[in-house]
Amino acid sequence: MSRLARHLLGEALGTALLLAVVIGSGIMGERLCAGNVAVALLANTLATVGGLYILIEVFGPVSGAHFNPAVSLVMTLRGELAATWLLPCALAQLAGSLLGAWLAHGMFDLPILQFSSKVRSTPGLWLGEVVATAGLLLVILRAPAGKASAMIAAYIGAAYWFTSSTSFANPAAAFGRMFSDSFAGIAPASVPAFVLCEVAGALLGLALHRMLSAPTDR
């Protein structure tokens, strides 16, 4: 298998498993928590933190474990991902996110094909996505060697609670969650604004990293 093929397989599989964790834990949390949204969100958070840490550790050596088109975009701008790989990588991530949603539905005996009815469309939520994604990129770019997986997972867990949007911070996640009418879902009409805010947040995170760095470290 070629290096590009391994990279795309790693991104597709890793993103699929990440979405299965996010959506599946949301479904399980909602079923077990008897309408207590706070407890369901806590369960969703803990599963995502653990799952994300493991997935980064497993797929990092294969593809860099982006699982996120906004992260891949920033890595391309930094010269760490070939420009010709960006589009195939993003498509692999989007396909993986859709497969992850379907996998979660299958595991919980839900209809495979569905769309979310959960509208997420206010200025506060959009600002939350900018903040969440900018913070994620800062953590990725500034994490000391060997600590990125734990720091990224911890940040996302915190951002589930301190951002109004519960920190999607990922266009692929927004895309996949659009196809799940569950606790973690987002209505299709709400996705474009989320994606724009996530890309803006990623670029802001890169800009902040450069401002904080010495010229030789940018």
Residue found by looking up tokens 């890793």 in the block: 14
Q: What does each of the 218 residues of the chain score in pLDDT, given as a tens digit?
A: 899 999 999 999 999 999 999 999 999 999 999 889 999 999 999 999 999 999 999 999 999 999 999 999 999 999 999 999 999 999 999 999 999 999 999 999 999 999 999 999 999 999 999 999 999 999 999 999 999 999 999 999 999 999 999 999 999 999 999 999 999 999 999 999 999 999 999 999 999 999 998 776 66
| Contact call for residues 41 and 29 (beta carbons, < 8 A) | yes
Token pair listed for 95? 């396909």
pLDDT value of residue 214? 78
pLDDT value of residue 218? 67
Q: What does the domain layout of the chain look like in residue ranges?
A: 3-217
> Is the C-alpha dihedral spanning 22, 72, 59, 113 positive or negative?
positive
Prediction pTM value: 0.95
Q: What is the domain class of 3-217 according to CATH?
A: mainly alpha
HEC string for 55-124: HHHHHHHHHCCCCCHHHHHHHHHCCCCCHHHHHHHHHHHHHHHHHHHHHHHHHCCCCCCCCCCCCCCCHH
pLDDT value of residue 184? 95
pLDDT value of residue 23? 98
Q: Report pLDDT digits (tens) over 149-208.
A: 999 999 999 999 999 999 999 999 999 999 999 999 999 999 999 999 999 999 999 999
